[in-house]
Structure 1
Amino acid sequence: MTDDDHPTPQAPPEFGLVQAWWGDGKGKTTAALGMGFRAAGHGYRVHLLQFMKGGAASVEDVRGEYAAIDQVAGFTYEHSGHYGWHGFADGSDDADHAAKARGGLERARDLIEGGRDADCSAPLPLDGDAADGVHMLILDEILYAANRGLIDPDDVVALVESKPDGLELVCTGGHERPDYLADVADLVSEVRKERHPIDAGQRARKGTEF
């Protein structure tokens, strides 16, 4: 540890895989965030780009994970989604959802392209710009955006195939199996619902869903 109790910048010895987390159960984003915090705790540079994460009318736009990330050196985030979930009767505009999802895809491309000049096998500045390279990039709900037809699944595949070798890329979201990633993902996990309180009318709860 450094004198200010932040982790010393380190380089991950075995990063470079593509992960896909999908399913109708709760916990996909939570799993990805858990890996992000774990990696940052080792001194690796992590960035979270959230698609489709505005929530519904019952969800505040200030999310608990953002406040937690702000306290962790080497972990940063940004949000590209519309306030309100696509397909929900929340008054949000489908065209706006699509535009913001495409904007998120372009930002993901920029992050991956910017990281091409970085040495992912070496330590990276914990306070460096994410566009200058990270060790782990989490694209939260990108699979949901693809499943909803807001972005083309082929563009997601192209994004995965363009990543630098040492970048750990984590993609989450969607209730439909992302078969388009079958040949390019190294880890595919289905998070299956057995029971969920939302089916009984429970709204999203502060501290568990946001």
Structure 2
Amino acid sequence: MSNNEPETTETTDDAPTEPTEPTEATTSTATAADDVRRNTPGKGRKPDARAIEAAAPDEFGLVQAWWGGGKGKTTAALGMAFRAAGHGFRVHVLQLMKGGADSVEDVRGEYNAIAAVPGISYENLGHYGWAGMRDGSDEADHATQAEAGFERAKELVAAAGEADLSEPLPLDGDPEDGVHLLVVDELLYAVSMGLLDESAVVDFVESKPENLELVLTGSHDRPEYLDDVADLITQVKMEKHPFETGQRARKGTEY
């Protein structure tokens, strides 16, 4: 090496390096992100699914009514049903007036999903056509079926009154042994179509036990008769719908 050349030092990947001190900017950014996470409801924790075990709700007992001309009434009710079942609460879905259109299969997606989730069960009492739709079904049968479904709903509410809803219920138990949440899907349609009496539905609601959460859906007409007995009344309003342009019910979204 020439005496005039600068001396160089070789380095390797294994050579120790001095730690880089965090700058004020990076520290500030990290602190801000931590603050945001701490201010979220979950405090920044990543949610992990837990095994479903029988449990009892602390604050059930309200009456909910979902109505309106928009899509989503049954969808909302089923969402609550699955949410409750996910916490280990016993849930039953009783459907009236479901089916009857040639574009809809008998087995809806929710039936398969319900069968796969512990703690939630269902009954369908509505594969008999649509009242007032001139679809060839016997109009007298509509009233008979709606009344039968309503009687079944009353049986389930009475059974819940015999159960201790402040305690966990067997996830595989019969709904006759009590449920924490009961969805009566399309009951409000049966009323608006004249198949059931408004006052009878009010009596039904008032007969429910204190800790039973009762969810009623259906009807494009506002159920004013529930104003004094329902705790939550939600209108699902349509602004635009693909049915208006001829789109038929789609598997996986409408059934």
> 1:153 Cα deviation (Å)?
1.3
> 1:54 Cα deviation (Å)?
1.4
Equivalent residues of 1:57, 1:90 under 8 A apart: no
What corresponds to 1:140 in structure 2? 185
Cα deviation digits, residues 38-65 of structure 1 (max 9, x gap): 0000000000000100141111111110
> 1:152 Cα deviation (Å)?
0.8
What corresponds to 1:103 in structure 2? 148
| 1:126-205 superposed matches below 5 A | 126-205=171-250
Query: What letter matches 1:23 in structure 2?
Result: G
Could you tell me the TM-score, scaled by structure 2's length? 0.79
Equivalent residues of 1:17, 1:185 under 8 A apart: yes
Rg larger in 1 or in 2? 2
Which is further off, 175-184 or 110-119? 110-119
Task: Tell me the distance in 2 between the aligned counterparts of 1:195 and 1:115.
Answer: 39
| 1:22-37 superposed matches below 5 A | 22-37=67-82
| 1:87-102 superposed matches below 5 A | 87-102=132-147
SS in 2 for 1:77: strand
- The runs of 4+ residues in structure 1 deviating greater than 2 Å are none
SS in 1 for 2:76: helix
Which is further off, 165-174 or 151-160? 151-160
| 1:4-153 superposed matches below 5 A | 6-153=51-198
Cα deviation digits, residues 102-127 of structure 1 (max 9, x gap): 00000001001111110111100101
Query: What letter matches 2:172 in structure 1?
Result: D
Task: Tell me the distance in 1 between the aligned counterparts of 2:177 and 2:51.
Answer: 20
> 1:6 Cα deviation (Å)?
5.0
> 1:82 Cα deviation (Å)?
3.4
Equivalent residues of 1:135, 1:167 under 8 A apart: yes
Structure 2 residue runs of 5 or longer lacking an equivalent are 1-49
Task: Tell me the distance in 1 between the aligned counterparts of 2:195 and 2:76.
Answer: 24
Structure 1 residue runs of 5 or longer lacking an equivalent are none
Query: What letter matches 1:78 in structure 2?
Result: E
Provide the aligned length of Structure 1 versus Structure 2.
Answer: 206
SS in 1 for 2:179: coil
> 1:80 Cα deviation (Å)?
1.2
> 1:197 Cα deviation (Å)?
1.0
Which is further off, 75-84 or 186-195? 75-84
Task: Tell me the distance in 2 between the aligned counterparts of 1:27 and 1:208.
Answer: 10
SS in 1 for 2:116: coil
Query: What letter matches 1:151 in structure 2?
Result: L
Task: Tell me the distance in 2 between the aligned counterparts of 1:39 and 1:55.
Answer: 29
Q: Percent identity?
A: 65
Cα deviation digits, residues 8-50 of structure 1 (max 9, x gap): 1000000000000000000000000000000000000000000
Query: What letter matches 1:175 in structure 2?
Result: H
